[in-house]
Structure 1
Amino acid sequence: MDQTLFLHSLLDYQGGAARISWLLKTYCRQQGREVCKSCEIPDGLDATSRVVLPEALGREAQDGLLHVHSTGSWPLLLTSLKRQGIRPVITLHDARLLTGGCFSPGGCQQWRQGCPGICPQGVARCNAWARTMRSLLEDINPILVAPSRWMATMARTVFPGLKIVVVPNGVPWTPARPVGCGAERVPNAPVVLFVAHGGEKARLKGGASWKPLWERIKARVPACKGFFVGGERSGRHGDVTLLPYLAPDLLASLMAGCSVLVYPTLADNHPLLVLEAMAQKLPCVAFAVGGIPEQIVHQETGVLVSPGDEDALVEQVTELLMQPARCRRMGERAFETGKKRFALERMGAGYERVYARMRST
């Protein structure tokens, strides 16, 4: 453990990629490793992080082991590493390095051929992006880490010559007290939780469907209360409380007082949100997209619904709300199963094995 570990992300703390970088910093320092964390956009939560622009990262990380989680410019960052001869570890938190620039391809299969046609998501110059990313990554020869087997399968298709390793995401597995956000004030009413970074504007996370889904759930379970978390403002509309982005400890407290997490995401990899819910014994009902089926055991630790089937989603959420004992049992199983598979310590140990492999090559 004599090499300094450099952890880099676009944001300092908010969002899944930055959160994993921050958690790894904490874990690795506890193991006695020297860690330097950098970001491109500071959010004020970690004053120890250095601001390093993507084109300068190669110079900053010459004397250590570099682990990149996200950036505002992959072309600039990878070019910087190529110039300095740095071979990094890169975690694939989304699919941008594997596609023509989209975060997730959805049902599109053009990524297999380097996105030669018009992008159905409207990404400009997708073929040029794909060619550039593939050329740079093949020259740099990083170890690519995929949090899900779903993402790893994509990566192996695009980069058969690169080393691809699966390390599932992990979070601290500590139950929180349900205080501080209001859910504790309605202990006898079922509480439905919707969360996404961006709130109702988070298109890929299904934010646009929150309101119609909530209205249908409320019509079937009139006593229930709702929380919409992750938007730009706070407020209250009837039985729905609006909250902005919450720090993890506050979100955990809110989750501890809720009944069901509704997660109608249209595209995802290995979302921390699902794991954070499991750590608070909160069952999740979600579309079976990306790596989510690797997190949730259907009808045991949560409920999976066919992608886009909002009728089935409403039905499954309603059934859980009307069967509180079953809902609690499912939350308990999610907690116990997740603790074995997705605890921070397990993820940290997985990355330490990746770092050891990098040092030995």
Structure 2
Amino acid sequence: MRILIVNTSEKTGGAAVAANRLKDALNNNGVKAKMLVRDKLTDDITVVSLGHEWRNQWHLLWERFCVFWHLHFSRNHLFEIDLANSGTDITKLREFKEADVIHLSWINQGMLSLKSIRKILCSGKPVVWTMHDLWPASSICHYAHGCYRYENGCGNCPLLPGNGNPNDLSSKVWKRKKTMLSHGNIWFVTCSQWLARQAKRSGLLRGLSVTSIPNPIDTHFFEPQDKQVARQHLQLPTDKRFVLFVSQRVTDQRKGMDFFVEAIGRMVAEHPGMKENTGIAILGGHAEELEGKLALPVYPIGYVSDQQRIRDVYNAADVFVLPSLEDNLPNTIMEAMACGVPCVGFKVGGIPEMIDHRKNGYVAAERNAEDLAKGMRWVLDEADYAALSEAAVGKVLRSYSQHSVAMQYLEVYNEALAFKNFRL
């Protein structure tokens, strides 16, 4: 069986990391898998580039300009909207023709257009589409933010200016997607049960298969290691405990930095002694902007791409905190747990599926900084830390190992191929 996974980037972003890990998991479990990307960053022979960089850049710039125009040239929501009005036709590529199953992943920002997706569906090849957010089941947005218009047809989109038009751009794109999805056989997979519940409410996916399979992780690489050695590698103090916060862009409001700042302030106000023995390590871009805003000493690590260094960051931490306001199945929580680090997060999205409350971490009430502070304090000073750490590793081994996830996807591929053969 030959699988072609299609994703915009090879490595950049959570979906790219998850797609790359799935490709490796499949290959390590007897399934031939390749990855087709626009942005190839390594010399991995199992990853194929689209080529034609100038043309790819044009697709991206044209789509962004169209979004910008529809926003009346406001930057508000500029990167929260995708139109898929421009992209590459991959059906003529050798890798496409050789594949038994086409596996779409995150294909936005000029990678594939609705027209090119329709060509894929009309090719007769079975298609599996992993949803890393709601975009495949909605119109133009990646996260619903409490909006349920996608259930019946979109329109009156809160992301567009002049909200109140039932036949706005979101309505038009929704109808185009509905027409597109009427062609071919397609199986949708969500990375979390939370996203599956949202997807099944979509009028676009009505009557289509939607199942939930988590992302995989290499548990032979992400594993517990000596904390003191990890801190020495990162030039962090070895006489402090560390709270870790990670985000590709730490100032992203969706990641809940404002709640994190408030929670740290509350925790230190109640336990001022923590200023002497506890620090905050921040991994991600713009980390330096947070210095002076937190009640504990901040150690900005910056943006890191080296995997061994990322593993050191997790192993250097005592607790990982991700106060996302909306999230699917964060790779960061999985990576931290695999390294034996208990996690604290809000009860949103797929986070409660990963963190088992008071067993391998702490699930705080949504948007509740007081409870977030309580969870951090509980992990650091009240819980049986060794038991939490062991339970975190156990959860990852049971649920997110390469073998476990690859076998679940193999069932979906076989079902898709069987359906194709039945139709023939």
Which amino acid in 2 is paired with 1:186?
P
Matched with 2:213 is 167
Q: CA RMSD in A?
A: 2.6
Cα distance in 2, alignment partners of residues 232 and 244 from structure 1? 8
Contact 1:196 1:207 in 2 (8 A): no
Matched with 2:90 is 57
Matched with 1:157 is 201
| Cα distance change on mapping 1:34 and 1:18 into 2, 3 Å | same
Question: CA shift at 1:47, angstroms?
Answer: 6.0
| Cα distance change on mapping 1:318 and 1:74 into 2, 3 Å | farther
Range with greater deviation from structure 2 (288-297 or 244-253): 244-253
Contact 1:259 1:327 in 2 (8 A): no
Which amino acid in 1 is paired with 2:8?
L
| Cα distance change on mapping 1:121 and 1:331 into 2, 3 Å | farther
Cα distance in 2, alignment partners of residues 185 and 155 from structure 1? 43
Contact 2:318 2:380 in 1 (8 A): yes
Matched with 1:203 is 253
Alignment of 1:326 onto 2:384: yes
**Aligned ranges 1:28-67 → 2 under 5 Å:** 28-44=26-42, 46=44, 48-52=46-50, 54-60=87-93, 61-64=96-99, 65-67=101-103
Say which SS state the counterpart of residue 181 (structure 2) adopts: helix
Range with greater deviation from structure 2 (300-309 or 114-123): 114-123
TM-score scaled by length of structure 1: 0.89
**Aligned ranges 1:4-15 → 2 under 5 Å:** 4-15=2-13
Range with greater deviation from structure 2 (139-148 or 261-270): 139-148
Matched with 2:284 is 230
Cα distance in 2, alignment partners of residues 97 and 330 from structure 1? 36
Matched with 2:21 is 23
Range with greater deviation from structure 2 (307-316 or 175-184): 175-184
Say which SS state the counterpart of residue 19 (structure 2) adopts: helix
Cα distance in 2, alignment partners of residues 288 and 211 from structure 1? 18
Cα distance in 1, alignment partners of residues 144 and 22 from structure 2? 28
| Cα distance change on mapping 1:346 and 1:93 into 2, 3 Å | same
Range with greater deviation from structure 2 (68-77 or 266-275): 68-77
Contact 1:229 1:246 in 2 (8 A): no
| Cα distance change on mapping 1:153 and 1:70 into 2, 3 Å | same
Alignment of 1:348 onto 2:406: yes
Matched with 1:103 is 142
**Aligned ranges 1:61-210 → 2 under 5 Å:** 61-64=96-99, 65-72=101-108, 73-120=112-159, 125-158=169-202, 159-174=205-220, 175-177=223-225, 178=227, 179=229, 182=232, 185-200=236-251, 202-210=252-260
Aligned pair partner of 1:274 in 333, 358, 368: 333
Question: CA shift at 1:96, angstroms?
Answer: 0.6
Question: CA shift at 1:30, angstroms?
Answer: 2.3
Which amino acid in 1 is paired with 2:18?
I
Cα distance in 1, alignment partners of residues 342 and 160 from structure 2? 32
Structure 2: runs of 5+ lacking an equivalent: 51-55, 57-86, 420-424
Cα distance in 1, alignment partners of residues 373 and 160 from structure 2? 27
| Cα distance change on mapping 1:315 and 1:233 into 2, 3 Å | closer
Aligned pair partner of 1:312 in 357, 371, 379: 371
Question: CA shift at 1:309, angstroms?
Answer: 1.1
Larger radius of gyration: 2
Which amino acid in 1 is paired with 2:97?
Q
Question: CA shift at 1:186, angstroms?
Answer: 3.4
Cα distance in 1, alignment partners of residues 42 and 113 from structure 2? 24
Which amino acid in 1 is paired with 2:240?
A
Cα distance in 2, alignment partners of residues 198 and 357 from structure 1? 39
Question: CA shift at 1:341, angstroms?
Answer: 1.5
Say which SS state the counterpart of residue 141 (structure 2) adopts: coil
Cα deviations across residues 107-145 of structure 1 (Å, max 9, x unaligned)? 222222222223258698222222222321232331101
Cα distance in 1, alignment partners of residues 367 and 349 from structure 2? 13
Q: Percent identity?
A: 22
Cα distance in 1, alignment partners of residues 124 and 43 from structure 2? 32
Cα distance in 2, alignment partners of residues 106 and 49 from structure 1? 34
Matched with 2:62 is none
Say which SS state the counterpart of residue 35 (structure 2) adopts: strand
